[in-house]
Amino acid sequence: MIDLAAAEGAFAASTDGTVGLEEEFAILDSGTLDLTPGFEDLRDNAEPELAAHITGELISSEIEIVSGRGEDLEHAFALQRDARRRLFAHAQARGFLLGATGTHPWADYRDQPNIDTEHYRRVVEGLGYAARRNNTFSLHVHVGVQGADRAIAVCDRLRPELPLLLAASSSSPFLEGQDTLLHSVRSETFTRTFPRCGVPDAYGSWQAYRDYIDLLVRTNSIVEYTQVWWSIRPHFTYGTVEVRICDAQATDEESEALAALIVACVKAAARDYDDGVPFADPPPRLVEENTWRAIRHGMEGTFVDFAAVEEVPAREALERLATWAEHDLRFPEQTAAQRQRAMLHGGASLREVYASIVEETQRTYGRAAEPAR
């Protein structure tokens, strides 16, 4: 099921700068906003134009919308906007609402049925509690990178930047009816419990990464490539670098702003590699320090500048990242995590906070879109 030669061929045939977007949504009861198992209903009753863009995830109360291959970022946005519009209209017609934060604020994971596919049966049987506990929602961005060695170099060079992308995306402060004091409890419940998850090691070359995957296969650690859940990975089928560290975004504007920054970062890393710009891989323990800061404090905290050995405010660090990527930042002043916590501290109940965020999601993702070209 894992063909390493074919994977190398996929990167040889890939085109720089193609983009694919994957957005995960919670399926909600329209009256209570509780998680509700509606995936099969939505899938089985979708029109063909929509059915081609929806996929299942681990639980039946989750649905993912995928753009497919966009020839560039704007093409991917156009594809995704059309698919979103269809999905949100379809969900409403079937009696559901959709949520877009990294976690559901009060759902009990023990009440959530898993979808019945061979892949997810394997995940649940293989991981047990770790899989059952993972009721989370995220944004994944694929960017085409030609050449397997270049793809590994991009993954390596983006390792120290991943915590900043997580902080900018943080949307999950609540879990099981309480304020966790974290900004991304999704990361705590997913990347710290699943195996082969979080920020990966630096591999240096396609051969080194191939040897790692081959070891996993030979030792019966994995039988599918998708059982490697790193926060950034070379995708064997699509010939892309897939950035997977981000929380789901409450609004379409935030999702697109984050995707645009990620695409710019991938392109910048590839450009630096091509130009021979020197790069030293920071040790995992240092990247882990900034990952924890992102989980705990999000954009309200500081990050460690490893070269200067000093702390830098999160916003300043993000602006530096955007400058390197030659990208114009278009982020709101507050992340969804900050907005939710501010409402809670202002006296709103947890359910009122979530209702407000769900309204933002319905209003923005469900807006009318021009048909994709």
pLDDT of residue 150 exceeding 90: yes
pLDDT at 368: 62
pLDDT of residue 372 exceeding 90: no
Question: Alpha-carbon distance 147 to 153, whole Å?
Answer: 10
Question: Alpha-carbon distance 239 to 191, whole Å?
Answer: 24
356's enclosing H/E stretch is helix 350-365
pLDDT of residue 370 exceeding 80: no
pLDDT of residue 369 exceeding 70: no
Give me the half-sphere count of Cα atoms (radius 13 Å) on the Cβ side of residue 318.
Answer: 26
Residues in the chain: 373
Question: Alpha-carbon distance 266 to 206, whole Å?
Answer: 17
Joined together, the tokens standing for residue 78 give: 């156009």
Question: Alpha-carbon distance 210 to 6, whole Å?
Answer: 12
DSSP string, 152-214: HHHHHHHGGGHHHHHHHH--B-EETTEE-S-SBHHHHHHTTTSSSEESPPP--SHHHHHHHHH
* Cβ atoms within 10 Å, residue 31: 9
- Please provide the average confidence, as pLDDT, over all residues in the chain: 95
pLDDT of residue 43 exceeding 50: yes
Joined together, the tokens standing for residue 361 give: 């999601």
Q: What is the pLDDT of residues 333-342, one digit of tens each?
A: 999 999 999 9
CATH C-level class of 4-365: alpha beta
Nearest to 354 by CA among 23, 22, 32: 32
SS3 367: coil
Question: Alpha-carbon distance 22 to 10, whole Å?
Answer: 20
Domain extent listing, the chain: 4-365
pLDDT of residue 173 exceeding 70: yes
Question: Alpha-carbon distance 29 to 35, whole Å?
Answer: 6
What residues contact residue 316 under an 8 Å CB cut-off, 6+ apart? none
Joined together, the tokens standing for residue 312 give: 């830098």
34's enclosing H/E stretch is none
The whole-angstrom distance between residue 184's C-alpha and the CA centroid of its chain comes to: 12
Q: What is the pLDDT of residues 189-244, one digit of tens each?
A: 998 899 999 999 999 999 999 999 999 999 999 999 889 999 999 999 999 999 99
User: What's the CA dihedral at 228, 195, 262, 183 to 10 degrees?
Assistant: 160
Nearest to 58 by CA among 113, 125, 128, 10: 113
Question: Alpha-carbon distance 213 to 230, whole Å?
Answer: 12
- As a whole-number percent, the residues of the chain with pLDDT over 70 amount to 98
pLDDT at 1: 72
Question: Which of left, alpha, beta for 262 (phi over 0: left; psi -120 to 50: alpha)?
Answer: alpha
Question: Alpha-carbon distance 116 to 324, whole Å?
Answer: 44
Give me the half-sphere count of Cα atoms (radius 13 Å) on the Cβ side of residue 252.
Answer: 20
pLDDT at 84: 97
How sure is the predictor about 373, in pLDDT bands with cuts at 50, 70 and 90?
A: very low
DSSP string, 96-145: EEEE-SSB-SS--GGG-PBP--HHHHHHHHHHTHHHHT--B-EEEEEEE-
pTM of the model: 0.96
Give the residue carrying structure tokens 């419940």. 189
